[in-house]
A and B are shown apart, each in its own frame.
Chain A
Amino acid sequence: MEKLITIEILTGAALLTPLISFLLCLLIPVRFSWVVTIVAPILLLISTSISIYLFVVVPNNTSLLISIEWFHVAQYSFNGNVEINRLSILMMPLVTMISFLVHLYSIGYMVGDNGTKRYFAMLGFFTFSMLGIVLSDNLLMIFIFWELVGFSSYMLIGHWIEKPASASAAKKAFIFNRIGDAGFLIGIMIVWANTQTFDLQEILHMSEIYSWQTAASLCIFCGVIGKSAQFPLFTWLPDAMEGPTPVSALIHAATMVAAGVFLLSRVFPLFTDASLQVVAVVGAATALLAALSALNQFDIKKILAYSTISQLGLMVTAVGVGSANAAMLHLTTHAFFKACLFLGAGSVIYALQIANRQTENFDVQDIRNLGGLRKKLPTTFFTFIIAAASLAGIPFFSGFISKDSIITSIWYWSGNTFSWRWLLLVAIFVVSFITVLYTFRMVWFIFFGKEKQSASAVTEPPWILRVPLLILASASVWFFIAWSPFNPSGWFTTLIGGLPDSILVTSISGGLVLLAFVTAWFVYTYKKTQIKSLRILQNGFDLDIAYQKLVGQSTVQLATVAETVDRKWIDGFIHVAAYAQVSVAHVVLWFDKYIIDSSVNAVAWLAGVAGSFTRSFQAGKIQLYIFWAVAGLIIFLFFILI
């Protein structure tokens, strides 16, 4: 009992230290902003150590619920429950550790930046929100943190405020996520209308499968499509590379985008067969399209971004075929090797920017401008190649094991008889083939080949950039995950659960990888093929242009129409009504002036005329008076007498 209480406190501490880091970073005055670069990593180190301690200490099958009521409406409670279970115990050290390494890396990478305070604050806030997603036992809370990571992603992509591209990339990322989140929200509403609770404890342990679950799970999957950059909403992720590279490593490769996969695994019991099939197809389509795009990129970070999308597609497919555990394994390995690749790319960019500060501006991220850096940047090269091997799924690296378990699950899922499921299997094989190709292409053009002009003054970046690389690279080797390089069983399987395993599939995929490697070597090294790209693939199948044309422009047009309606029709109606009233008033005024007034005037005039007529009798001439008097008298007499 006592131990459980300590676990509660420690979990709380691990969750809140990044938040404290965020607050501290905000409160420290600008002139002491260097303090931030010390405090933030230390706090993250604390959080990481606690998480690792919990990871070690907490027994494997724990499911510990800490009940916190957030607020209640009528009889319904909205809880902020924290649940410590196998998934959260896995994700906590993963998130905090990569976050810590990125913090460490950023100290060197962000040197001289005048937004360090904001940068570290948002990193802390991101880590907090991400831990929130991981620990929440409540769909609404997950949604809240889900939105908050979106916000920190927005802030971090747009970190270089003065770059117009980063601002629009940040906006795009947030809006695309919002589109997915709107779907997620509808899913939440469906769940609410049917269960009146958000507690996953209750939602996931229902006795029967209800028909609303398909709709609800598909809607929740919309959120995943947005956040994990799945087809058709993946185009925000390559643009998000406008942010600082460590951010890309943390948020847009290792953790935030993987939150979608985590969510799928978390609410897996909610998914019905029908919705799982959709998940699998969407995942496979994403994996394939993104892999093809990755093969056609020139920008290092864009290659990595598309490769991330592709790998996320693989994980989503794994969930779709019912093997959430395989997805989680790939999430874990991917987090490390992809973070390592991004940080490696970051240190290449850093080194080249430092070296070429004087020379004219050229794009240091374009692999066509790079080459032969392996001698200049030995550490970076070494770590990069390990992580790349892991990405490509070369045996003896962690990526091989995880990708292998995904392929094995799909293999079992597709069955023995031919069905559309086989297409999916083929697609995944193609993806893993292409993965090797683009990884080889990237590594080859950066580190091998002729040394270009740009590489002349390059020196290895400082140790603070290299240490995280080394740590991450070492985690990309097989023994980090499992005992045997060909079998996933190890600490992971004991923690999360069993994984499908088949010697046949392992050998097929191993063979495929080797074949792909040879092909890549033949194409890029032996034939020395010039680097080329298909424009449509480079632009991610022109989905962006399509969105711009279809959605963006139509929304803008709709907005213009709405404005016109407002100004012309509604206001116009009001104006017409007002003018009508005013015109009527004018008519009335005219009537008043000319008819009523003039009739009154006419009467007055008549009276005047009569007056002046009668007045004419009284001209002051006494004789006239007498005349009239006599005349009157005569008339009077005349009447009287006759």
Chain B
Amino acid sequence: MSQYLLSSLIFTPIAAALFVLFIPNEAKKTFRIVTLAISAIQLGLLIFIIHQTKDSTFSSFLLTEKANWFSIDLGTWGVLQAEYFVGIDGLSFSMVTLTVLIMLIAGISSWTIDKNVKGYFILLWILNGAIVGTFVALDFLLFYLFFEFMLLPMYFLIGIWGGPKREYASIKFLLYTIFGSILILIVLIALYLSVQNPDVQDRVVHTFNLIHMTDAANYITGSILNPDKGWMIGAHSARWWAFVLLFIGFAIKLPAVPLHTWLPDAHVEAPTPISVILAALLLKVGAYGLLRIAYPIFPDIATSLSWFVALIGVISIIYGALNALASKDLKRLIAYSSVSHMGFVLLGLASVTTEGVSGAVYQMFSHGIISALLFLIAGVLYDRTQDRMINNYSGLSSKMPMYFTIALIGFFASLGLPGFSGFIAEIMILLGAFRSFSANGLIHESFAIVATAGLILGAAYFLWALQRMFFGPFYIKSEIKPSQLVDLDKREYSMLLPLVLLILVFGIFPQILLDYINPFAQHFTDSVLNAVRTIQNP
């Protein structure tokens, strides 16, 4: 049983999508129940995984699953082989947990959808499976497959169920991400041609296995990406180019400035549950790709370009915050705050210190739940009034006191108040980034110092929005009727309160998650730094 745990996690929602093809479109209740059932099954599986692995030593993977996917003999060209290879370690675990939680919340939030419900939920479940698959895949081809598999449901979910400018937003989203995907695909092919399977001795068997790709010994002599004598393209080695392509590809997803402009539009136009998934999960795929693929496979280049990664991170932090300050649309503000917060992930990652990397992963998790909360908050207002302009509201706290309380918690959590999960993540990232210079010399201390300005700006834009929307005398734009402004209902509580609780729990008891993240972070930093050493002095 336990060897199929991960597969069941991935394929439960996809199977459900196939199953409901036979259910008529009108049976709205069925879709809701199936959504809840999927999440319940996934949660159960997750708890089972936690239970199964609680004694494991955590050195690398808690669980793996491997099967031959296809293997085609190409004669003198070797063997074309891909595996169905999935596994879960601390990083995957936290991301999968996040996915399951957010999908549950997004499922509940999707109850208000009434346009072509069946199509919507089928796409949602395919997305669910694809995201989980992306987070557990250990075969590059499989990863890429799931990675691409996420885009289309997302494209349709924004393009069909979105707001007024949905076509523009969805096309922009698709073009950006497809562009990134192509860059990743190029590297995928180059890597495939360069790496051989060490398990087969007598002949050359190419492999997509991500674990094999991290080991410099598996690179075929004279191949494109060989760490010792790889090809040169222009002034730089092919490995340099490969890392840069991967970085751009994943930075688009992250999103890092200046590749971020799809995000605000996509968020503004997407329906609330899709915004939640987009911010909480899809952005994490970019960071996950950097942590799982770009850094471990190209440690030599990654560390030499760490300053660049950190620079992009700091620019994202400041630039995102400034843009948030200038936003007039609540969702746009939150979207830019996401850019700012994901910049912290880059900074932590670039430091390659245990606390920095732990902080980066923690930030991925924490931003997942916080941004989900924020987008739900924006959605609550939008559901009532179809208006998200900050200036059209004032003094809402008197009409909607509970909504005010939740929004207050969400905003303060996002600006990094201690006690909420975001603080733990950001402080660890800053500590790691600052210590990096003395610990491994990768990035300069000034990056961390400049990044603290992001915290000040974060306070500025959130408090400014809070002040204008909730404080002051009650006022709303004349098109809105005050009767529309009713306080939260039960369904909304059932989404918001668990998130608030999670944010608090992970802010006060970080060890719960750090138990999973720590071994990964340590393994990651050790292996990256060791690999650099072996490549430089073989």
Contact = CB atoms under 8 A, between A and B. Distances in A.
A binds B: yes
B419 A71 contact: no
A162 B354 CA distance: 46
Contacts of B261: 566, 570-571, 574
Contacts of B427: 140, 185
Contacts of A144: 418-419, 423
B460 interface: yes
Interface string A528-570: 0000000000000000000000000001101111110010001
A182 B452 contact: yes
| The 3 residue pairs across chains A and B that have the minimum distance between CB atoms | A167-B471, A144-B418, A189-B434
Interface string B431-443: 1001101110000
A99 B260 CA distance: 48
A164 B466 CA distance: 12
Interface in B306-331: 319, 322-323, 325-327
A178 B437 contact: no
A175 B456 contact: yes
Interface stretch (A101-109, A190-198, A356-364): A190-198
Contacts of A178: 455-456, 459
B473 A559 contact: no
6 contacts: A70-B510, A147-B418, A170-B467, A190-B434, A192-B431, A562-B323
Contacts of B175: 578
B430 A189 contact: yes
Contacts of A562: 319, 322-323, 325-326
Given A171-B464, A182-B456, A185-B455, A193 B435 contact: yes
A185 B452 CA distance: 8
A196 B353 CA distance: 12
Interface in B444-490: 445, 448-449, 452-453, 455-457, 459-460, 463-464, 466-467, 470-474
B137 interface: no
Given A71-B511, A72-B514, A72-B518, 10 more contacts: A73-B428, A148-B417, A163-B472, A185-B427, A186-B448, A186-B452, A188-B431, A189-B445, A574-B172, A578-B175
B463 A171 contact: yes
Most buried by B among A72, A74, A145, A574: A74
Interface in A41-89: 70-74, 76
A561 B322 CA distance: 9
Contacts of B456: 175, 178-179, 182
Contacts of B453: 182
A76 B172 CA distance: 44
A192 B471 CA distance: 39
Nearest to B396: A161
A158 interface: yes
B258 interface: yes
Nearest to B453: A182
B532 interface: no
Interface string A272-304: 000000000000000000000000000000000
B398 A162 contact: yes
B194 interface: no
Given A178-B456, A186-B452, A190-B434, A74 B355 contact: yes
B326 A161 contact: no
A215 to B, nearest CB: 10
B265 to A, nearest CB: 8
A182 B457 CA distance: 11
Contact of A175 (B176, B327, B358, B459): B459
B510 A71 contact: yes
Contacts of B395: 161-162
B528 to A, nearest CB: 14
A145 B417 CA distance: 10
Contact of A192 (B358, B434, B449, B452): B434
Nearest to A552: B460
A143 interface: yes
Given A162-B472, A164-B472, A151 B417 contact: yes
A534 B125 CA distance: 69
A69 to B, nearest CB: 8
A72 B511 contact: yes
Give the contact-size bracket for chain B.
Answer: 35 or more
B407 interface: no
A421 to B, nearest CB: 32
B393 to A, nearest CB: 13
B207 interface: no
SS class, residues of chain B in contact with chain A: helix
B2 to A, nearest CB: 29
Interface string B257-277: 010110010000000000000
B403 interface: no
Contacts of B471: 158, 161-162, 164, 166-167, 170
B417 A193 contact: no
Contacts of A164: 471-473
A148 B419 contact: yes
Contacts of B428: 73
A70 B176 CA distance: 42
B449 A186 contact: yes
Contacts of A151: 412, 417
Nearest to A76: B355
A575 to B, nearest CB: 9
A143 B430 CA distance: 14
Contacts of A555: 322, 325, 457, 460
B322 A174 contact: no
Contacts of B323: 559, 562-563, 566
Most buried by A among B176, B258, B509: B258
Most buried by A among B319, B398, B463, B470: B463
Contacts of A148: 417-419
B137 to A, nearest CB: 27
Contacts of A578: 175
B472 A143 contact: no
B241 to A, nearest CB: 21
Contacts of A525: none
A543 B459 CA distance: 21
A163 B455 CA distance: 27
B197 to A, nearest CB: 33
Most buried by A among B354, B467, B470: B467
B510 to A, nearest CB: 5
A167 B472 contact: yes
A168 interface: yes
Contacts of B455: 178, 181-182, 185
B134 to A, nearest CB: 25
Nearest to A26: B405
Interface string B348-359: 000000110010
A127 B95 CA distance: 37
Contacts of B521: 73-74
B522 interface: yes
Nearest to B464: A171
A574 B168 CA distance: 12
B82 to A, nearest CB: 33
B518 A74 contact: yes
A252 B312 CA distance: 40
A185 B430 contact: yes
B452 to A, nearest CB: 4
A73 B322 contact: no
Given A161-B395, A189-B430, A73 B463 contact: no
A175 B319 contact: no
Contacts of B39: none
Nearest to B408: A155
A205 B173 CA distance: 56
B258 A143 contact: no
A140 B327 CA distance: 33
B418 A167 contact: no
B214 interface: no
A529 B511 CA distance: 66
A70 B423 CA distance: 14
A168 B434 contact: no
Contacts of B423: 144, 147
